[in-house]
Amino acid sequence: MKISIPKGTKDILPGEIEKYKYVQTAFADMLENFGYSQIRFPVFEYTELFQRGVGDTTDIVQKEMYTFNDKGGRSVTLRPEGTASVVRSYIENGMSSNTQPVKLYYDITAYRYENVQKGRYREFNQLGAEILGSDSCNADVEVLFMLYSFFNGLGIQGLHLNINSIGCKTCRAEYNSILKEYFSDKTDNMCADCKRRYITNPMRLLDCKVDKCIEIAKDAPMLLDNLCDNCKEHFYNVTAGLDEINIPYIINKRIVRGLDYYVRTVFEFIAEGLGAQNTVCAGGRYDGLVEQLGGTDTPGIGFAMGLERLVETMKNSGFKFPTAKTPVIFIGYIGEKAFKVARTIANELRLKGIYCEIDINDRSLKAQLKFADKKDALYSVVLGDAEIDTNKAIIKNMKTQETKEVSIDSIVRRVVENII
């Protein structure tokens, strides 16, 4: 039977990988300028971390986790996201004793057992970051400024920042009862899902895509209009901060993050032209999470962006990605004796940091040059017995056809010093 790649995964091949690397490097560079350090954590964690961190009632935990027992009988799970692990690490490594706030970024693959569709995979790449130990609105604004600048720098068009506040535990409890009251006499006309949501999670009623439910929910009271005074002030300060530094945003009262740990500020960067899965980056504040996972009460804010979706959006925006490296010079040869000289030159150049190609398939000179052309080499030189005897060879500029006779001894120096 033919071996095939697992559903929802993909190989990232040469030609495509350069695009990913470009974004990953740009991300790391920017994050480090904002004072973040990289963190790495395991691909799998004990299942309990995600159950408690992401939340037992979320879709991620209920139906999307890659969970299995290891040989010691412990239940482990492939990470469906990064925040829970970062917080676990923060607690476990005593980072509450570090200079506050602690800023960490990560570049990971994540795993969710979902049905695949455009922009959604079972293994996918996330670039994310967390700030732990700041409850100030300045943290929120700084994160949003950084992300806005990052996307701007990548030349992305049609990406819109949507923000909302979903309050804290206290205002949310109060809001839920307000919401239930509003919907109490309307449940008969709602879809089956919404009837269930009415009981389990009334806030989700606002998210339904069914026409009649949208109609019913249209005039429902919004959480944003029912925040407690502290949350209201925090949100006001965040938007005021964004206004001050001219970051455009849309207040989207319908953003309800799907992970349990979010409080107060939540946001998404939504792209045009990506299909149904159009959220490129999402995040928010999670002030209670550290405590919930057994640490001391520590506020936090973070985000994650989907690398696949981001690269796709950049392609849609016509971004000119860097292409793969091409050889500076191709060293051709005729005969065994010449090969040994050519090999020495090639390897010397390579060790001096120059990308140099040489045929290792015993091909004819014609095939060698064809190879050089396919690899898009800038220069070529051919060594044969005559050249070796006279210590002279012709270097050719493959683009301009110009040729130049040089001594074989000088080839390495000429290429390194770029005087060809």
Partner RNA sequence: GUGGGUAUAGCUCAGUUGGUUAGAGCGCUAGGUUGUGGCCCUAGAGGUCAAGGGUUCAAAUCCCUUUAUUCACCCCA
| Interactions with RNA, residue window 86-115 (CB under 7 A) | 112, 114-115
Q: Which run of H or E residues covers position 38?
A: strand 37-38
Return d(Cα 268, Cα 161) in angstroms, integer: 6
Judged by CB under 7 A, does residue 117 bind RNA? Answer: yes
Residue list 28-57, contact with RNA (CB under 7 A): none
Residue number with CB closer to RNA (5 or 351): 5
Q: Which of 52, 88, 309, 414 binds RNA (CB under 7 A)?
A: 309
Q: Which of 174, 207, 291, 348 binds RNA (CB under 7 A)?
A: 207
Residue pair 269/159 in contact by the 8 Å Cβ criterion:
yes
The percent helix, strand, coil of the chain (3-state, each to 5) is: 40, 20, 35
Residue list 322-341, contact with RNA (CB under 7 A): 332, 334
Residue pair 122/8 in contact by the 8 Å Cβ criterion:
yes
Which among 305, 299, 363 is positioned nearest to 330, based on CA atoms? 363
Main-chain phi, psi angles of 232, to 5 degrees:
-60, -45
Q: Which of 131, 305, 411, 420 binds RNA (CB under 7 A)?
A: 305
Return d(Cα 38, Cα 303) in angstroms, integer: 14
Residue list 128-187, contact with RNA (CB under 7 A): none
Judged by CB under 7 A, does residue 12 bind RNA? Answer: no
Return d(Cα 420, Cα 411) in angstroms, integer: 8
Residue number with CB closer to RNA (295 or 302): 302
Count of all residues that appear for the chain in the document: 420
Whole-number minimum distance, CB 72 to RNA, in Å?
A: 28
Residue number with CB closer to RNA (47 or 237): 47
Whole-number minimum distance, CB 278 to RNA, in Å?
A: 6
Judged by CB under 7 A, does residue 208 bind RNA? Answer: yes
Q: Which of 23, 224, 356, 382 binds RNA (CB under 7 A)?
A: 382
Main-chain phi, psi angles of 75, to 5 degrees:
-85, 120
Residue list 249-288, contact with RNA (CB under 7 A): 256-259, 268, 275-282
Judged by CB under 7 A, does residue 365 bind RNA? Answer: yes
Residue pair 126/110 in contact by the 8 Å Cβ criterion:
yes
